[in-house]
Amino acid sequence: MIYLDNAATTKPDRECLEAAQQFLTENYFNPSALYAEGYNVQLSLREAGKNILSCVADSERFGIIFTSCGTEADNQAVFGGGRRGNVVTTLGEHSAVYSAVNELKQRGIEVRFAELNSDGSVNEESLLSLIDNKTSLVSVIHVNNETGAVNDISKLAAQVKAKNKLTLFHSDGVQAFGKIPFKLTKDIDMYSVSAHKIGGVKGCGALIKRKNLILAPYIYGGGQQNGLRSGTENVFAIKNFEFAVLKRYKNLKDNLEKVKNLHEILWNGLDKSLFSRISPDTGSPYILCVGADGLRGETILHEVDDLGLIIGTGSACASNDKKRFSRTILACGITESLADGILRLSFSPENSQKEVEEAAKILNKVVENRKQVMS
């Protein structure tokens, strides 16, 4: 089996699983308990937060709220930050933000959507034109989860603050965290991350936020995590996340170079008479989005699966959406004929050159055969 749907989820890293195992079998105590064993687990949680933050942020300026996933982190940012006036976001957001802001609309908050460039990045002029003195929140995805386009969130956040210093800036960083180098700047108020995209287990994410930002809880209860996210912490998943983060950032540059090479080999191996490239050359190398004009991406997905290749057709979180075409791809100005044949190939440092070379052969064979059947 060749697995090239790593933007949907990654295989859990065995070394990180084994390191965190003690928090399931030995140090399983409730971190809110008053006895020493519980307090020691609480210290381990604080250590996890500190270590994760150290990779992308100044711990003096930022704090961290552990959540059940990236979607919950996005939801807390949207519902906590967009409580008045209007909210500005983009047409290329992950459904965790896109659906959340549409719920805000139902609650009486005005929502404004910035246009996209042809590669899936936000149109800067469009975004800035939507911000006024009533804008409470701007949310811009860091790496587009379908095309891999990278938004310069540091620059955008500074421009947003220049227009309205009271506007909060949030970014969904799920496809960037642990993959591309960056540091959070003072103008970024909130940043969402997820464990299972970088070798951690499912069921754990986090919202990194500016420390002096007053943010309403999204989940209420026993007041864990300073009252910002109630519920007994999933210590095993959080520690596993910590270990996965530290491992990824230790090897960040080497992984990036390896994945760039895999990305280039796969694209060069695809028949350009069969595939059109959607991903920009300047995008994240972890995602290669291509289209087979006139074909159904879903059909191709199933046929290559039968030959041992697992790929995606876009965001896995949108797979239950009954709409035929991706809203993000259409917002890029892609025709419906090409949008119907969109394929998302996404990489992990664990992939090999041999795998991507074979993947290109399988894709060429399947699409060429499908074209002949339809001609």
Closest CA to 213 of 182, 189, 192: 189
Q: Which two tokens stand for residue 139?
A: 């949310």
Total Cβ atoms within 10 A of residue 110: 14
Clarify whether 317 is annotated catalytic.
yes
Q: Among residues 55, 204, 317, 332, which one is catalytic?
A: 317
3-state secondary structure of 260: helix
Q: How far apart are CA 236 and CA 241, in angstroms?
A: 9
Other beta carbons less than 10 A from residue 46's beta carbon: 11
* Residues with Cβ within 8 Å of residue 1, at least 6 apart in sequence: 308, 309, 310
List C-alpha distances in Å: 254 to 2, 180, 220, 248.
Answer: 22, 11, 41, 10
Phi, psi at 80, each rounded to 5° = -80, -35
Q: Exposed (0-12), middle (13-18) or buried (19+): which is 317, by Cβ within 10 Å?
A: middle
Q: Which amino acid is at 250?
A: K
CA angle 361, 333, 294 (to 5 degrees): 40
Active centre residues (catalytic): 317
